[in-house]
């Protein structure tokens, strides 16, 4: 470290007696890494603003009286950039390195909560940073600015929110998210930009939690509070009214080279599990409506010239939430029978049969949507299907080992979070690796896989972290 510092002293500052250095002096265009800067003109303790090229740096911290530490957000073009810290300019002080392949230069992500990186019910700074496309972009080295929220903006579902064993059920996700949104609304009275680390950056992950394919294509309905709330947080923070742009409108302005989505139509099916207190297949998007919007989406994205990588949908029956909703349907039926003097055992059996029939219908709907995606890909050579359904199905059978820990798709198994729907850091890395493998197969690249052992070591949703939080998963129905 001292050698690097004195090397930069010679390059940047001649033979001054005071240290002047930047560590590291170069990094990938994907950004979101820490740099340390020292310069005789700087007072780290009083530094309030920093830019690297065209983008704001954040998390400025005085490491000591000489060294300023900050996080850089990346840069759309490779090459040297000036560092500007308050009134001090270090010309060409940092260099952004190009991605491993020119096709990774302009990555854009669309979709819903999995692509956005929602964890434990709500969007967060950490979830956005660990979202599948964000982890993918860092692996590729391409520019991918994120709509990061200020830390602790929305409380997440945590261990204390789970119900007692053996169900260990999370709270209703839709109700939980709505409650958190209304709680923070007063904080946004002067604009949604207050919720963002950097509201001025042109983000490339424009996925919006809760979106269905129609929302991606056409934009959120003006009267849909939840859809507008999240869309404004993600890509329209200065808008004072309903969001008038769709995700595809934003994509068009980026001239993407690659477009990815991990859950393009997840909510079109999962609404059956999420919206009501019971499993209700009538809440799913009709097949014909989905097919029409998928055709529009593929046409719009094809016109950009980008390669499109869209994940299919795993079986919803594999979600821990599905088992929770099935148990809830039986519980409600037994309660009703008890209150009305009916046969509780018969009511439970009938409710179980109804639940199983509904689950089978939801799985079949997901499979039908997946088939339509395959058909669309057969007619568009730049549309590639990432077979996430097969991967998750395999994991449900075998689990995986990472960093000395055994992970599974079961409730509290380390791949899915406390809400039973969204993934942990390691789960999102697993999804990103599915895209890496498809990229390498389709594009002939040699992008290395994300090291899941490294991710799980600091994953707050890992089995080790869950045990450390005092949860005995053996007491929970899984």
d(CA 457, CA 396): 22
232 contacts 192 by C-beta, under 8 angstroms: yes
User: Residues 336, 279: one domain?
Assistant: yes
- Average of per-residue pLDDT across 194-207: 97
What's 213's domain CATH number?
Answer: 3.40.50.1110
134 contacts 204 by C-beta, under 8 angstroms: no
User: Residues 153, 253: one domain?
Assistant: yes
User: Residues 198, 91: one domain?
Assistant: no
Mean pLDDT for the chain?
93
User: Residues 394, 309: one domain?
Assistant: yes
Contacts of 133 (CB under 8 A, 6+ apart): 107, 109, 115, 144, 205, 207, 260, 262, 432
User: What pLDDT is attached to residue 18?
Assistant: 52
User: Residues 31, 146: one domain?
Assistant: no
d(CA 196, CA 308): 28
User: What pLDDT is attached to residue 4?
Assistant: 42
Predicted model pTM:
0.93
pLDDT in tens, 121-174: 999 999 999 999 999 999 999 999 999 999 999 999 999 999 999 989 898 888
User: Residues 39, 87: one domain?
Assistant: yes
d(CA 197, CA 69): 16
pLDDT in tens, 328-367: 999 999 999 999 999 999 999 999 999 999 999 999 999 9
Question: Domain range spanning residue 86?
Answer: 2-97
d(CA 330, CA 345): 10
User: Residues 230, 170: one domain?
Assistant: yes
User: Residues 78, 214: one domain?
Assistant: no
User: Residues 64, 159: one domain?
Assistant: no
305-331 CB burial, b ≥16 within 10 A, e <16 = ebbbbbbbbbbbbbbbbbbbbbbbbbe
User: Residues 172, 106: one domain?
Assistant: yes
For the chain, the domain total comes to: 2
User: What pLDDT is attached to residue 325?
Assistant: 92
Using DSSP, state whether 95 is helix, strand or coil. strand
User: Residues 92, 148: one domain?
Assistant: no
Residue 16 confidence class, pLDDT cut points 50, 70, 90: very low
């Amino acid at each position: 470290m001292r050698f690097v510092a004195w090397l930069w002293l010679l390059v940047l500052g001649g033979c001054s007696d005071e240290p002047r250095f930047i560590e590291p002096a170069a990094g990938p265009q994907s950004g979101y890494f820490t740099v340390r800067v020292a310069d005789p003109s700087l007072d780290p303790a009083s530094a309030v603003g920093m830019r690297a090229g065209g983008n704001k740096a954040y998390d400025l911290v005085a490491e000591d009286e000489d060294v300023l530490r900050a996080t850089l957000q990346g840069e759309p073009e490779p090459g040297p950039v000036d560092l500007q810290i308050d009134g001090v300019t270090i010309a060409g002080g940092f260099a952004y390195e190009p991605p491993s392949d020119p096709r990774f230069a302009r990555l854009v992500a669309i979709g819903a909560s999995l692509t956005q990186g929602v964890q434990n019910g709500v969007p967060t700074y950490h979830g956005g940073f660990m979202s599948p496309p964000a982890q993918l972009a860092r692996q590729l080295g391409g520019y991918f600015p994120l709509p990061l929220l200020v830390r602790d903006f929305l409380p997440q579902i945590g261990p204390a929110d789970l119900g007692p064993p053996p169900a260990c059920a999370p709270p209703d996700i839709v109700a939980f998210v709505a409650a958190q949104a209304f709680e923070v609304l007063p904080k946004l009275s002067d604009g949604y930009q207050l919720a963002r680390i950097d509201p001025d950056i042109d983000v490339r992950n424009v996925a919006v939690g809760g979106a269905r394919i129609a929302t991606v294509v056409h934009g959120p309905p003006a009267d849909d509070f939840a859809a507008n709330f999240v869309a404004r947080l993600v890509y329209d923070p200065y808008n004072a009214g309903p969001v008038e742009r769709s995700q595809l409108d934003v994509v068009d302005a980026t001239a993407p080279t690659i477009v990815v989505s991990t859950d393009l139509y997840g909510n079109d099916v999962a609404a059956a599990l999420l919206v009501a207190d019971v499993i209700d297949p009538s809440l799913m998007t009709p097949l014909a409506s989905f097919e029409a919007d998928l055709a529009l989406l593929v046409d719009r994205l094809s016109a950009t010239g980008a390669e499109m990588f869209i994940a299919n949908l795993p079986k919803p029956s594999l979600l821990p939430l599905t088992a929770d909703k099935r148990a809830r349907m039986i519980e409600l039926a037994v309660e009703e029978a008890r209150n009305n003097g009916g046969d509780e055992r018969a009511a439970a059996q009938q409710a179980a049969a109804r639940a199983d029939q509904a689950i089978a219908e939801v799985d079949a709907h997901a499979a039908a949507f997946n088939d339509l995606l395959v058909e669309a890909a057969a007619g568009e050579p730049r549309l590639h299907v990432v077979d996430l359904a097969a991967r998750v199905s395999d994991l449900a059978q075998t689990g995986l080992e990472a960093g000395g820990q055994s992970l599974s798709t079961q409730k509290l198994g380390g791949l899915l979070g406390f809400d039973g729907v969204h993934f942990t850091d390691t789960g999102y890395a697993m999804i990103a690796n599915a895209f890496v493998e498809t990229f390498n197969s389709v594009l002939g690249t040699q992008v290395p896989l994300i090291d899941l052992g490294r991710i799980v070591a600091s994953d707050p949703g890992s089995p080790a972290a869950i045990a450390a939080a005092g949860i005995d998963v053996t007491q929970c129905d899984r």
